[in-house]
Structure 1
Amino acid sequence: MSPQDYEVDVRPLSIEDGGGFIALVPELPGCFSDGETPEEALRNAYDAIGCWMEAAHEMGRPVPEPRHDRRAAA
């Protein structure tokens, strides 16, 4: 399982929220990132997923399996 196996929802941020884009990972509670462009937000989200998984392992917590096998869809 790799960070790219998880669904990432990229949305624009309002000017009041600083602009740019937020990338949310619905399957991993509290896992999100942002960026100036959608592409940057997605790259940053993959880094955040890796950190989330590493922290879960260190704390002895399970890492949810991705709901969708994104490789099969490619």
Structure 2
Amino acid sequence: MSSYVILIERADDGGFGAWCPDLPGCVALGDTYDECVTEMREAVAFHLAGLRDAGEPIPAPTAIGSDLIAA
């Protein structure tokens, strides 16, 4: 089983958006951080199932983590 890094950003309206660098076009939104993560898990599963159904290759994860840097 592969693990994909997702990046989560706070939206101007207070909600959250997530995306996956290794799966272009795979995104999710949520009103809360936890909702966004749950939606993104489902989006990744759906995205990968679509690739499999289309006979497309499954991208190997290349991102290995994320960190917060104070500036």
Give ranges in structure 1 of 5+ residues lacking alignment.
none
Consecutive aligned runs of 4 or more in structure 1 exceeding 2 Å deviation: none
Size of the aligned set, in residue pairs, is: 65
Question: Residue in 2 aligned with 1:14?
Answer: 12
Q: Distance in 2 between matches of 1:20 and 1:69?
A: 25
TM-score (norm. length: structure 2):
0.81
RMSD: 1.6
**Displacement of 1:68:** 4.7
Higher helix share: 1
* TM-score calculated relative to the size of structure 1: 0.78
Identify the residue that residue 40 of structure 1 maps to in structure 2: 35
User: Structure 2: where are the runs of 5+ without partners?
Assistant: 66-71
TM superposition shift of 1:65: 1.2
Partner of 1:51: 46
In the other structure, the counterpart of 2:24 is 29
Identity %: 31
